[in-house]
Structure 1
Amino acid sequence: MRQKTGNIEKGFLFASLLMVGGCISVKAPEKPIEINLNVNIRQEVVVHLQKDAGDFIQNNPELFPQ
Protein backbone atom coordinates (compact mmCIF):
# COMPACT_ATOMS: atom_id res chain seq x y z
CA MET A 1 0.00 0.00 0.00
CA ARG A 2 2.89 2.33 0.77
CA GLN A 3 4.27 1.87 -2.75
CA LYS A 4 1.00 3.04 -4.38
CA THR A 5 0.84 6.11 -2.17
CA GLY A 6 4.44 7.01 -3.10
CA ASN A 7 3.66 6.67 -6.80
CA ILE A 8 0.60 8.90 -6.47
CA GLU A 9 2.65 11.54 -4.65
CA LYS A 10 5.38 11.37 -7.31
CA GLY A 11 2.78 11.62 -10.07
CA PHE A 12 1.13 14.62 -8.41
CA LEU A 13 4.52 16.29 -7.95
CA PHE A 14 5.46 15.66 -11.59
CA ALA A 15 2.13 17.01 -12.85
CA SER A 16 2.40 20.13 -10.73
CA LEU A 17 5.95 20.74 -11.98
CA LEU A 18 4.72 20.46 -15.56
CA MET A 19 1.96 22.99 -14.90
CA VAL A 20 4.31 25.43 -13.20
CA GLY A 21 6.95 24.90 -15.87
CA GLY A 22 4.52 26.14 -18.50
CA CYS A 23 4.16 29.44 -16.65
CA ILE A 24 7.87 30.24 -16.67
CA SER A 25 9.58 31.47 -19.81
CA VAL A 26 13.12 32.65 -20.31
CA LYS A 27 13.88 34.88 -23.27
CA ALA A 28 16.40 37.54 -24.18
CA PRO A 29 15.31 41.16 -23.73
CA GLU A 30 14.24 43.08 -26.81
CA LYS A 31 16.62 45.95 -26.08
CA PRO A 32 20.25 45.34 -25.12
CA ILE A 33 21.19 45.75 -21.49
CA GLU A 34 22.84 49.15 -21.03
CA ILE A 35 25.24 49.86 -18.20
CA ASN A 36 26.19 53.48 -17.62
CA LEU A 37 29.46 54.01 -15.82
CA ASN A 38 29.93 57.67 -15.05
CA VAL A 39 33.56 57.97 -14.07
CA ASN A 40 34.66 61.45 -13.10
CA ILE A 41 38.36 61.97 -13.75
CA ARG A 42 38.11 65.76 -14.06
CA GLN A 43 39.19 66.36 -10.48
CA GLU A 44 42.39 64.39 -10.93
CA VAL A 45 43.23 66.15 -14.20
CA VAL A 46 42.56 69.59 -12.67
CA VAL A 47 44.85 68.82 -9.74
CA HIS A 48 47.66 67.81 -12.08
CA LEU A 49 47.13 70.90 -14.24
CA GLN A 50 47.12 73.17 -11.19
CA LYS A 51 50.38 71.63 -9.95
CA ASP A 52 51.99 71.93 -13.38
CA ALA A 53 50.81 75.55 -13.71
CA GLY A 54 52.16 76.42 -10.26
CA ASP A 55 55.52 74.88 -11.09
CA PHE A 56 55.62 76.71 -14.42
CA ILE A 57 54.84 80.07 -12.77
CA GLN A 58 57.55 79.53 -10.13
CA ASN A 59 60.13 78.53 -12.74
CA ASN A 60 59.30 81.49 -15.05
CA PRO A 61 58.68 84.55 -12.84
CA GLU A 62 59.50 86.94 -15.70
CA LEU A 63 56.45 85.74 -17.62
CA PHE A 64 54.11 86.32 -14.66
CA PRO A 65 55.03 89.57 -12.87
CA GLN A 66 53.22 90.27 -9.63
Structure 2
Amino acid sequence: MIKPAAVISLLLLSACTPRVEVMVPDKPITVNLNVKVDHEIRIRVDRELEALFEQEKELF
Protein backbone atom coordinates (compact mmCIF):
# COMPACT_ATOMS: atom_id res chain seq x y z
CA MET A 1 0.00 0.00 0.00
CA ILE A 2 1.18 3.54 -0.75
CA LYS A 3 2.25 5.51 2.25
CA PRO A 4 0.51 8.86 2.91
CA ALA A 5 3.85 10.70 2.85
CA ALA A 6 4.53 9.41 -0.66
CA VAL A 7 1.09 10.55 -1.85
CA ILE A 8 1.56 14.00 -0.35
CA SER A 9 5.03 14.37 -1.89
CA LEU A 10 3.70 13.32 -5.31
CA LEU A 11 0.91 15.90 -5.07
CA LEU A 12 3.34 18.64 -4.05
CA LEU A 13 5.83 17.78 -6.81
CA SER A 14 3.15 17.64 -9.49
CA ALA A 15 1.94 21.10 -8.49
CA CYS A 16 5.40 22.58 -9.17
CA THR A 17 5.51 21.88 -12.90
CA PRO A 18 6.79 24.79 -15.01
CA ARG A 19 4.32 26.59 -17.25
CA VAL A 20 5.13 28.59 -20.38
CA GLU A 21 2.64 31.08 -21.79
CA VAL A 22 2.78 32.67 -25.21
CA MET A 23 1.05 36.03 -25.27
CA VAL A 24 0.40 38.52 -28.04
CA PRO A 25 1.99 41.92 -27.27
CA ASP A 26 -0.32 44.86 -26.57
CA LYS A 27 1.62 47.23 -28.83
CA PRO A 28 2.51 46.50 -32.45
CA ILE A 29 6.08 45.49 -33.19
CA THR A 30 8.03 48.38 -34.69
CA VAL A 31 11.36 48.21 -36.47
CA ASN A 32 13.34 51.44 -36.65
CA LEU A 33 15.83 51.53 -39.50
CA ASN A 34 18.16 54.45 -39.81
CA VAL A 35 19.32 54.07 -43.39
CA LYS A 36 21.04 56.73 -45.42
CA VAL A 37 21.43 56.02 -49.10
CA ASP A 38 24.17 58.11 -50.64
CA HIS A 39 24.44 57.40 -54.33
CA GLU A 40 25.68 60.86 -55.22
CA ILE A 41 29.30 59.91 -54.52
CA ARG A 42 29.32 57.19 -57.15
CA ILE A 43 27.75 59.44 -59.77
CA ARG A 44 30.35 62.12 -59.06
CA VAL A 45 33.22 59.64 -59.35
CA ASP A 46 31.79 58.22 -62.58
CA ARG A 47 31.54 61.69 -64.09
CA GLU A 48 35.07 62.54 -63.00
CA LEU A 49 36.36 59.32 -64.55
CA GLU A 50 34.53 60.01 -67.80
CA ALA A 51 36.04 63.50 -67.92
CA LEU A 52 39.50 62.06 -67.20
CA PHE A 53 39.13 59.46 -69.96
CA GLU A 54 38.07 62.15 -72.40
CA GLN A 55 41.11 64.27 -71.52
CA GLU A 56 43.61 61.41 -71.44
CA LYS A 57 42.66 59.19 -74.39
CA GLU A 58 46.00 57.36 -74.23
CA LEU A 59 45.24 55.71 -70.86
CA PHE A 60 43.58 52.67 -72.43
TM range (shorter): 0.3 to 0.5
For normalisation by structure 1, the TM-score amounts to: 0.38
Which one has a larger percent helix, Structure 1 or Structure 2?
A: 1
